Amino acid sequence: MTEKRPSQDRSQALPALLAAALAAVAIVVAVISLVSETPSLSLIAAAIATLLAMVVVWLNGNYVAQGQRLISAESELTRLQSTTIADSVAMRITGERPAGLDTIRTPGGDLTGLNLSDMSDLADPTTGLLGERYFVITLEARVAAARRHLRPLALILLEAVHDPTGSAPSIDAVIAADVIRETLRDADTLCRLHNGRYAILLEDTPENGAIWTVERIRRRLGEQLDDVAVWAGIACYPANGFDGPEVLDRARTALDQAREWRQDRTEVADT
């Protein structure tokens, strides 16, 4: 069954109302002519009925034509909008961007400062984790979902290294990925960024829950490897930001502060 658009209902409403009004006038005139036995009123009623038929036919054809044009315009607009959205999504997935555009644009703002020039896939080839491109695309969606359901969301940016007092080489990525993945819940999101750091999204988790998650990861890594230091920056929605770019920026700042320490350190973004 084809659903009628509002434009179709509007195009048929006015002729129907006008026809009803003219028919009512014709009936009144005819009744008066019968009561008063005036032949001229009968002629007037017949003339009104004829005029009624002509007007209804003309208006109906005119409004139907206008309704069809409006329906065609609405369909074309919907098609163009769908094509634009599909093209935008496809460009994000394939990593293509219009000339001069170096950021990912989201409803909440632009996600800047990420390495978006070398993203061959949605997954990190070294660890098999979700990659930076997936993180960029999903961050704003997760914040929007948290906003809609009035629930907190925590973002952890984490870096694990050997011997932080020296050159601080990163630990084995595969081991780190396995340990972090086993520590998180199924509903959490773990991504590996191109700079070797890890981005973790914890749904329905406030600041203290994120801190406890970092401590569990740090303890598990210490059980697997020697001389490991874990730096972590935490930012939460809505405590530290109201959209994806703001939360990400606060988490980056917190991680930079943690990296200033030559030992394990977790920094939480300022409110």
Average pLDDT over residues 132-138: 87
SS3 breakdown of the chain: % helix, strand, coil, rounded to 5?
Answer: 55, 15, 30
Please, are residues 189 and 130 in contact by the beta-carbon 8 Å criterion? yes
Predicted confidence band of residue 20 (pLDDT cuts 50, 70, 90):
low
pLDDT computed for residue 69 by the predictor: 80
| Residue pLDDT, tens place only, 170-203 | 788 999 999 999 999 988 999 999 888 999 999 9
Q: How far apart are CA 250 and CA 231, in angstroms?
A: 15
**Mean pLDDT in the chain?**
77
Angle at which helices 6-36 and 39-94 cross, to 10°? 170
The stretch 115-121 carries a mean pLDDT of 50
Could you tell me which residue, 116 or 161, shows the higher pLDDT? 161
| Percent of the chain residues past pLDDT 70, beyond the cut | 61
Q: Higher-confidence residue: 152 or 34? A: 152
Round to whole Å and give the CA distance between 266 and 237. Answer: 18
Would you state the pLDDT for residue 86?
53
pLDDT at residue 249 in the model: 94
Between these two residues, 83 and 158, which has the higher pLDDT value? 158
Indicate if the pLDDT at residue 38 is higher than 80: no
Whether the per-residue pLDDT at 99 is higher than 90: the answer is no
Q: What's the pLDDT at 3?
A: 45
Query: Average pLDDT, stretch 9-28?
Result: 61
- Whether the pLDDT of residue 4 is over 50: the answer is no
Whether the per-residue pLDDT at 78 is higher than 80: the answer is no
Continuous segment of H or E residues that includes residue 8: helix 6-36
Measure the CA–CA gap between 19 and 24, rounded to whole angstroms. Answer: 8
Mean pLDDT on 113-133: 70
Model confidence at 147: pLDDT above 70: yes
Least confident of 4-8, 35-39, 150-154: 4-8
**pLDDT value of residue 18:** 65
Q: How confident is the model at residue 7 (pLDDT cuts 50, 70, 90)?
A: very low
DSSP category for residue 165: T
Residue 250 near residue 237, CB atoms below 8 Å: no
Which residue in 208, 218, 212 sits closest to 264, CA to CA?
Answer: 218
Q: What is the pLDDT of residues 198-223, one digit of tens each?
A: 999 999 999 999 999 999 999 999 99
pLDDT surpassing 60 at residue 103: no
Question: Quick one: fold of 113-268?
Answer: Alpha-Beta Plaits (3.30.70)
